[in-house]
Amino acid sequence: MSTIAVNRKSLVSGLLINISAVLLVYFIPTLSHLLNFPLYLIEPMRIMVILAVLHTDKRNAYFLAATLPLFSYAISAHPVFYKMLLISAELVLNVWLFLLLKDRIKNIFAAMTTAIVASKIAYYLLKALFIYFALIGGSLFSTPVWIQLLTTAIFSAYAFLILRSRK
């Protein structure tokens, strides 16, 4: 395939993922009310960031990781400002760790799982500090751990299947 065709394909997939990410974040509150199900439990921002890291380039993945929570905050004031900072940091760390580990571990499932778990641990450590200093309220774990483990396994399996099929 020519370089132009590859660049065009990357541009189109990047645009589709970014537009989908913005629309998803924009409509999550409405969809949650319509479905009577809290869609934040399935981590829609992480889904979009993982799609970006697997189907576009690393710049786009970092861009979405840093800006999706900011966009959500800008349009709905949710999550609250400090939690938005935490989520952005967690997603950026997730991208960085995955990109670092995928070539070193040679096991895509393990690389994605490690990246997600490590970024969640960092998130919860920072969240505990933010709660301690009264920057945010609420409990430390708002999403049940079993749901987080399930989504981590699903996201890691998806990464494994996608990147395995490219070899």
Give tens-digit pLDDT for 134-156.
999 999 999 999 999 999 999 99
Spatial CA neighbour of 124 closest among 107, 146, 142, 110: 142
Residue 43: the pLDDT is: 93
Domain borders along the chain are 3-165
> Which has more confidence, 21 or 61?
61
Return the DSSP state at 2. Answer: -
Q: Over the Cα atoms of the chain, what is R_g? A: 16
Q: Which amino acid is at 105?
A: I
pTM value is 0.90
Give tens-digit pLDDT for 24-81.
877 888 888 888 988 888 999 999 999 999 999 999 999 999 999 999 899 888 889 9
CA 61-107-47 angle, to 5 degrees, is 30
Give tens-digit pLDDT for 94-143.
999 999 999 999 899 999 999 999 999 999 999 999 999 999 999 999 99
